[in-house]
Structure 1
Amino acid sequence: MRHFLKKGLVILFTLLMLFGGFTLNIVIQFQHYGRLINYVGIVRGASQRLVKLELEDRLSDPLIGYLDGILEELTTGKGKYGLPLPKDENYRKNLNELYQMWDSIKDQIKNYRSGGSDGEELLALSEEYFEQANNTVFAADEYTSQRTRILLVICAVMLGIILLTWLFILWAFSKKILRLEDMNSRLSDLTQRDVLTGVYRIDAFKEEAQKLLDAGAKERMAVVYTDFSDFKYINDVFGYDYGDSILKKYGEILSGGLREGELCGRVSADNFVLLLHYQEKGEVADRQRAADERITFYMHNSFDRQTVPTSCGICCVEDVIEDLKIDGFLDRANFARKTVKNGTNANYVYYNENIRNRLREEKDVESRMLEALDRREFTVYYQPKVELKTGRVACAEALVRWKTKDGKIIVPDQFIPVFESKYMIDRLDRYVFEEVCRFQRKRMEEGGRVLPVSVNVSRLQFYDQNFVERYVEIRDKYQIPPELLEIEFTESIAIDNSALLLRIVKRLREAGFACSIDDFGKGYSSLSLLKSLPVDILKIDRFFFTSDDNPERDMAVVQGIIELVHKFHIRIVAEGVESPGQVEYLRKAGCDYVQGYVFYRPMPQEDYEKLIAERSPGV
């Protein structure tokens, strides 16, 4: 294209120069043609004066010489007057006849002067000469008119070339601008794209999606929020390079399935969002299911035949009563996705009235939780742990309940996720820890029996550099002996960052706290972690005690864990135990403690006080 533009401009400018030179030449000739007509006219008029003077017997040889010079130059095109000799047949014919008649007039003048003829012949000849001079003038004028017409045509052509040149320049300039705009658009689009997957970054997705929502038929659009159910497993087991290859392929699949007016973006990690059109609502889940089948096939055929399922939340705009922006639709699609993550729904969930009510409850919790902390509406419940050797309550776990000012009890499943999503779970953790310390201080001052209590801390606490110092400060404030407090954390923290966990656990133990791993066996951590992690207690997840498929096999696994863990001098707590038969098996297997409904449910502080004041029943 650039070569074509350059060549086209050269041709147009060359033609313009040629026509310009030709035009300039014609304009210069016009000056000569005007002089030509004037001098032919002079010949015509001067010859009549000459005859008149001769008939009056006034000799005028200088005038004859003057006319000879003009006529000589008119017939030859050479002389002092700069008269041209046009290549026009009609003009030259008339000019030759005029020249011959001039010779006849000069002969008649000689005869008249010598008396060989009278003036009548000379006068008659002058009349004929005058007529021929007129014809010559008209021929010259006609030739000049022809040249004028040619000049007009050339000027028109030149004007056309000039216009064409400018149009060509404007066209080339506009093409260049369009190319620049297109390039800028592409560069701008690239800056808005995620480097790994090629889809929009979340900020750019929101901006473009809002434009489409504002301009389109909202009732036929849906926002999709999707991710892999446990993508961390892929990264941890097979490496981040393989994980990135899956995300890149998934981005290609999602982008490749988009139609006109649809978008795909990446929130973070393995979280993707889409804005799709549909005729029937079911199309959205069908399209997403087809995309997920392709990525599953890719994983199944790429590395060790390992796959992880997807979780997808769908929010159809027409199903939302409120007038929302794109952030609101994303929140609702994400909320629907979370119902898949927590196992309450299938892989593809549409936002509906039930989810709307749950979202309303979550927003209600969010709006009230800070005030509830200040008003001390959260109360600590205690679930005793029974030592199997003695059958007595040996310790307990602190659990939190929300008792509103109207007396309603809100269970942790309804408010803990909100505290976590708003990154405020650390405040709730510290609240519970301080309540436990206050309770134990009270028991100590009253001289009552005081048993160790374990308190849960979230994974976010481990990323707080001052976490251990804060807990030591609270403990020392109430002067609680370190052996009465146990810090409990989930196995998943070890998966996130085992090096960080190791450092924090060492600091906690140096500060005098006992440490325990909760939900052991639920995730993908290795027993080899226990070799380097100096924990005091390990809690076997209730998962091993709720399966009815093969209880003997489950208990055999539990026994293997107990035997191995005891070799590291770590005590075992079995949680979620609900039957006496399980208790008996655990006692024989050497389990240290049991925590479950088979003995005690979580109870308010006053009930727990009464319990530990009495002798606990054996089993």
Structure 2
Amino acid sequence: MIAQKQVLIVEDNEINRMMLREILSSEYSVLEAENGQAALDVLKTNRADISLILLDIVMPVMDGYTFLSIIKADAVYSAIPVIVTTQSDRESDEVAALSHGAADFVAKPYKPQVILHRVASIIHLRETAAMVNQFQYDRLTGLYSKEFFYQRVREILLQQPDRSYDIICSDIENFKLINDIFGVPAGDKLLCGVADMYSELVGEEGICGRFNADQFACLLEHQEYTDQLFVQAEAQLNALSNTKSVVVKWGIYPVRDRATSVEQMCDRAFLAAHSIKGQYAKHFAVYDDNLRNKLLREQAITDSMEKALAEKQFFIYLQPKYTIQDDRLAGAESLVRWNHPEWGFMSPAEFIPLFEKNGFITRLDQFVWVETCKVLRRWLDQGYQPIPISVNVSRADVYQADLADILLRLIQKYSLPPSLLHLEITESAYTENPEQIIHTVGNLRELGFIIEMDDFGTGYSSLNMLNKMPLDVLKLDMKFIQSETAKPIDQGILRFIMGLARWMNLSVVAEGVETREQLERLRDIGCDYVQGYYFSKPMPCREFEILAQSLESQSTGRDVREEDRDDCEEDSGVLLIVDEDSEYRRLARETFQCGYRIEEAENAVQAIRCIVKHENRIAGVILSLSLREEGGFAVLEYIQKEKKIWNIPVIVSGPQDALLEEKALIMGADDFISRPYTQKSLWKRLARVRAAAVVRERERRLHSEAYRDYLTGLLNRRGLHVAEEALRREEGPFAVYLFDLDNLKEVNDKLGHAEGDRMIRDFGSLLRAHSRETDILARYGGDEFAVILKRMGSEEAALRKGNEICRAFRDNCGRGKITVTCSAGIVVCRETEMSVEKMLARADEALYKTKSDQKGCCCMWKG
């Protein structure tokens, strides 16, 4: 049953009160008071339920005007509508009542239908206004609600097309913690303080709104912002909350493109604020193209992840783990890699945090588990000595109810002992819900899995909690290791951890070992296992298997028997045996034919012909230095000169001669074996040099990638500075160009970054087509390119070349929905000692003049 609305009658005449009660009681619940003071007492206990007041003006104790003045001045009562009743029907009395805040005026004697109609109308108006007010305004702070803020911003931007505006949004870091520690009333007081601060900031020139919880936004006219403005605001809030724990981050979105929705504008301002969360002394951030590009990049990654998993763009790398006492290979860590068909190899640091946020990490982790189990099964099937591989189990994985079932089904499917699959769980995961994770991980450990606590030293585990955790291995955080081992005096913390691990019967793995000094210190304090770039970077599974076989053969000293040959992959490439002695060639062929396609040569000419024919498939060369006319050295020289084959593993053989061996190694041989030699020794040496060649090539690729722009393949800024060293040894003059793609920002904004990236790639290809291989080409910035053309003798020739490139781009690449041209500044430099930065600074001056005078052409720097 719906409760009746309440009406308060304030009337000193009892008969009048009775009449009004009779009229209203059929529709309403009626309360009565004989004067204004008595009415205030009724309001104190019933204000929330009273929908309307019928008020007489002439009363003892407190008259109607005084009562009206009191309740309209009090925010608690001011919203209750009042109808004034009086025997006078003079206009002046009606005006006086309305001016005091009355909603309506009714003359005596009472007319029942008039009274009922007016009471119902006023109550309806009040309820409608309350509903509108609830929609438009935030109940706690009185600021606009989110939806009404959006509406008002749209109206202002439409009404003021010539004014520049900014949207400022803010977020209080760890606001929930403030509520938990100081209580909800303190949190509400702080939020009201933020609202007051915003109102003060915008004054009469802007509007403010509260979105939810601790998120606020305002629109105000554009101005220059300083840290001081936001520092003062934060200090004001800390004073209000009686604490120094309030940290606020502001994001600013300058309103430039009014076609963008207001919702998106606010999202971008919040994105700017979120970009500086956790950064000390960084109070505000302005939304710019970098943040926009980051957002678009994250969206592109999210859009690609499902397809990438389906198309097997993800795969695993293995990073070796070694025992610290004897450097023996003891295991590996399985790490995911992503080779995107368009973007190439992507850094895990870019996509892993994003997948952790959007939840895709659970599917990716399960993919890694499956691929790792496949590798372990293959090793067992091929008879390799099994070594354990650890896989990452994210926090999202741990909270799956069926985690143990998933892993158990997996090892059962591949018939693996659980102890070969180590589970790495980060320390921070244990601190979020310790009881649940201890229970889950305890079940996994009972099933036989080995549990490793990853990143130990970065979380906040108490010793009591650490004692309860089901663990087998502590894995020390990389940064922790690198910082602590750099302090030779203070090794106390690490020694304490080692002692703690011994007391708990735990093994300790140190990751991120990069120097000999770190290794020796870890060995000195008793660490068990190590991994890091000092030993090896993560590598593809096949490279890891070659390394493992090589190390295993060295440690066991096995002969090359039939069972070893059975382990070889069929046709791992072409193995070239170059020897004038047919018996040596025969023995080598029998040794390696199980795993390679064998090619033979008895002199240097035949050897080089074979290398030319099979250059893309040569897996190694076994080369005799006893060929006629030093033919062995001729083959070595040819290999070193050819870029495509410089990394082919080469084992040279000859009589025991220190000078001969030294010369061969200087000319690029990977190993020297003295005659006579055994096939066992030759087999071991080839396995070792092939593993070393794989590592060399991987490091070369990584080095190259570090100096190359991922989009165009040209040099990046770092690569340009490296090229500068070689440039100093060249003879001048040089023509130095700084090209800039005009209108590219408009393309990105209107057609999308994919179209902008296409134009950047096309311009990179065009530069290659209009330059020599020895010239230096670099992507200098987003849409800027630095080009150094060597031996460019005159300014006229340099200017001609620049205009040729600009014209070719305009005609072949820049035509589309939006015309894009390129402009260039040029400087011809004859001083070989002048730095590239100085040359580019001069070219930039000329470029500025070009863009000021006429875009799409070139200008020469004149000093």
Asked if structure 2 preserves the Cα contact closer than 8 Å seen for 1:542 and 1:575, the reply is: yes
Tell me what 1:353 maps to.
289
User: Larger % of helix: which?
Assistant: 1
Q: Is the aligned partner of 1:292 residue 2:234?
A: yes
Distance 2:185 2:536 in 1: 49
Please point out which of 130, 138, 149 is paired with 1:209. Answer: 149
Tell me what 2:210 maps to.
264
Tell me what 2:322 maps to.
386
Alignment of 1:139-158 (within 5 A): none
Q: SS at the partner of 1:6? A: strand
Q: Is the aligned partner of 1:578 residue 2:514?
A: yes
Cα 1:247/1:10, change in 2 over 3 Å: closer
Q: SS at the partner of 1:573? A: strand
Cα 1:540/1:297, change in 2 over 3 Å: farther
CA deviation string 1:429-480 (max 9, x = no partner): 1011111111111111111233111111221112211122112212221112
Asked if structure 2 preserves the Cα contact closer than 8 Å seen for 1:385 and 1:593, the reply is: yes
Q: CA deviation at 1:243?
A: 6.9
Cα 1:337/1:416, change in 2 over 3 Å: farther
Tell me what 1:460 maps to.
396
Cα 1:354/1:605, change in 2 over 3 Å: same
CA deviation string 1:336-359 (max 9, x = no partner): 344324769934222211111121
Q: SS at the partner of 2:212? A: strand
Q: CA deviation at 1:546?
A: 3.9
Asked if structure 2 preserves the Cα contact closer than 8 Å seen for 1:518 and 1:538, the reply is: yes
Cα RMSD for the two superposed structures? 4.0
CA deviation string 1:378-420 (max 9, x = no partner): 1111122221122122111111111112571011122112222
Q: CA deviation at 1:370?
A: 0.3
Tell me what 1:536 maps to.
472
Tell me what 1:411 maps to.
347
Tell me what 2:374 maps to.
438
Tell me what 2:487 maps to.
551
Asked if structure 1 preserves the Cα contact closer than 8 Å seen for 2:170 and 2:217, the reply is: no
Tell me what 1:224 maps to.
169
Q: SS at the partner of 1:615? A: helix
Cα 1:565/1:549, change in 2 over 3 Å: closer
Asked if structure 1 preserves the Cα contact closer than 8 Å seen for 2:251 and 2:272, the reply is: yes
Structure 2: which amino acid aligns with 1:262?
Answer: C
Please point out which of 432, 445, 448 is paired with 1:509. Answer: 445
Tell me what 2:195 maps to.
255
Please point out which of 409, 414, 420 is paired with 1:478. Answer: 414
Structure 2: which amino acid aligns with 1:210?
Answer: Y
Alignment of 1:86-485 (within 5 A): 176-185=123-132, 198=140, 205-217=145-157, 220-228=165-173, 240-242=180-182, 247-259=187-199, 261-266=207-212, 272-283=214-225, 288-296=230-238, 302=243, 307=245, 309-310=247-248, 312=249, 314-318=251-255, 323-326=260-263, 328-341=264-277, 346-406=282-342, 408-485=344-421
Distance 1:438 1:289 in 2: 56
Q: CA deviation at 1:250?
A: 3.7
CA deviation string 1:181-231 (max 9, x = no partner): 4444566679x75xxxx4699xx9542332233222285141525242x67
Q: CA deviation at 1:363?
A: 1.1
Structure 1: which amino acid aligns with 2:194?
Answer: L
Structure 2: which amino acid aligns with 1:273?
Answer: Q
Cα 1:380/1:417, change in 2 over 3 Å: same
Q: SS at the partner of 1:258? A: helix
User: Larger % of strand: which?
Assistant: 2
Asked if structure 2 preserves the Cα contact closer than 8 Å seen for 1:384 and 1:395, the reply is: yes
Asked if structure 1 preserves the Cα contact closer than 8 Å seen for 2:168 and 2:219, the reply is: no
Asked if structure 2 preserves the Cα contact closer than 8 Å seen for 1:339 and 1:345, the reply is: no
Q: Is the aligned partner of 1:527 residue 2:463?
A: yes
Distance 1:324 1:479 in 2: 56
Structure 2: which amino acid aligns with 1:450?
Answer: P
Cα 1:572/1:322, change in 2 over 3 Å: farther
Tell me what 2:536 maps to.
600
Q: CA deviation at 1:244?
A: 5.1
RCO (CA 8 Å, sep 6+): is it higher in 1 or 2?
Answer: 1
Give percent identity, aligned residues only.
28
User: TM-score scaled to structure 1, two decimals?
Assistant: 0.64
Asked if structure 1 preserves the Cα contact closer than 8 Å seen for 2:484 and 2:494, the reply is: no
Structure 2: which amino acid aligns with 1:222?
Answer: I
Structure 1: which amino acid aligns with 2:152?
Answer: L
Q: SS at the partner of 2:504? A: coil
Distance 1:166 1:261 in 2: 44
CA deviation string 1:460-508 (max 9, x = no partner): 1122111221122122211121111111111111221111111111111
Distance 1:249 1:438 in 2: 59
CA deviation string 1:244-275 (max 9, x = no partner): 576445423322223262112336xxxx3222
Distance 1:256 1:245 in 2: 17
Structure 2: which amino acid aligns with 1:582?
Answer: Q
Q: SS at the partner of 1:389? A: coil
Larger Rg: 1
Q: SS at the partner of 2:317? A: strand
Q: SS at the partner of 2:535? A: coil
Cα 1:336/1:417, change in 2 over 3 Å: farther
User: TM-score scaled to structure 2, two decimals?
Assistant: 0.47
Asked if structure 1 preserves the Cα contact closer than 8 Å seen for 2:333 and 2:390, the reply is: yes
Asked if structure 2 preserves the Cα contact closer than 8 Å seen for 1:380 and 1:435, the reply is: yes
More displaced, 316-325 or 531-540?
316-325
Tell me what 1:6 maps to.
55
Q: Is the aligned partner of 1:569 residue 2:505?
A: yes
Q: SS at the partner of 1:433? A: helix
Distance 1:487 1:315 in 2: 43
Q: CA deviation at 1:279?
A: 2.9
CA deviation string 1:504-545 (max 9, x = no partner): 111111222111111122132223321100111111212323
Asked if structure 1 preserves the Cα contact closer than 8 Å seen for 2:478 and 2:511, the reply is: yes
Cα 1:486/1:549, change in 2 over 3 Å: closer
Structure 1: which amino acid aligns with 2:220?
Answer: Y
Asked if structure 1 preserves the Cα contact closer than 8 Å seen for 2:427 and 2:455, the reply is: yes
Q: SS at the partner of 1:600? A: coil
Asked if structure 2 preserves the Cα contact closer than 8 Å seen for 1:13 and 1:165, the reply is: no
Asked if structure 2 preserves the Cα contact closer than 8 Å seen for 1:199 and 1:265, the reply is: no
* Contiguous gaps of at least 5 residues in structure 1: 17-159
* Contiguous gaps of at least 5 residues in structure 2: 1-7, 12-53, 58-82, 91-106, 159-163, 200-205, 556-863
Q: SS at the partner of 1:528? A: helix
Distance 1:504 1:355 in 2: 39
